[in-house]
């Protein structure tokens, strides 16, 4: 259980790391899309917020049903929710709050609940406890994408 606690601590610390990563980026860096079909940094953060907000519902579904198929994230949400025109501070604050709620929720679960499973859209069968690693992987993947977007900026 200490591994899970450490993983949850890492998830809880991530919003501050994300804030540090984007600190000092100018408006252009936040809004530029490296290619027409790619996301800007604001859109990446919005997508991360979508994924982070979806996990509590997925886990509640796993707790209430036997090995359910979990709802996928729709990449179209990024455009539908118009993250490109949101304020960075708003997205970061919302992400902070959403992540804190998720971590607090996960810390209330008992071992039998953590062992329950569902079918993740890309990972296949996953336990509630494994959701923590899935979310951490997602965080890492998109911080690398943010770094790549930043590095591609001229100047």
Q: Which residue has the tokens 């591609």?
A: 152
Give residue 155's pLDDT.
63
The reported pTM is: 0.94
Q: Does domain 2-151 have CATH number 1.20.120.450?
A: yes
Domain ranges of the chain: 2-151
Mean pLDDT, the chain cut into blocks of 10 residues (155 residues total): 88 97 95 94 97 94 97 93 97 97 96 97 96 94 96 78
Give residue 153's pLDDT.
79
């Amino acid at each position: 259980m200490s591994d899970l606690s450490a993983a949850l601590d890492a998830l809880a610390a991530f919003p501050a790391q994300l804030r540090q990563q984007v600190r000092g980026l100018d408006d252009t860096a936040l809004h530029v899309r490296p290619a027409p079909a790619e996301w800007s940094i604001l859109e990446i953060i919005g997508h991360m917020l979508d994924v982070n907000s979806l996990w509590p519902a997925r886990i509640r579904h796993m707790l209430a049903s036997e090995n359910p198929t979990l709802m996928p994230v729709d990449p179209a949400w990024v455009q539908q929710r118009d993250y490109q025109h949101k304020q960075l501070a708003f997205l970061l604050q919302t992400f902070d709050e959403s992540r804190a709620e998720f971590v607090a929720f996960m810390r209330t679960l008992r071992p039998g609940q953590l062992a329950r499973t569902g079918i993740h859209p890309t990972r296949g069968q996953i336990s509630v406890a494994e959701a923590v690693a899935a979310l951490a992987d997602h965080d890492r993947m998109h911080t690398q994408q943010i770094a790549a977007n930043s590095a591609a900026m001229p100047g």
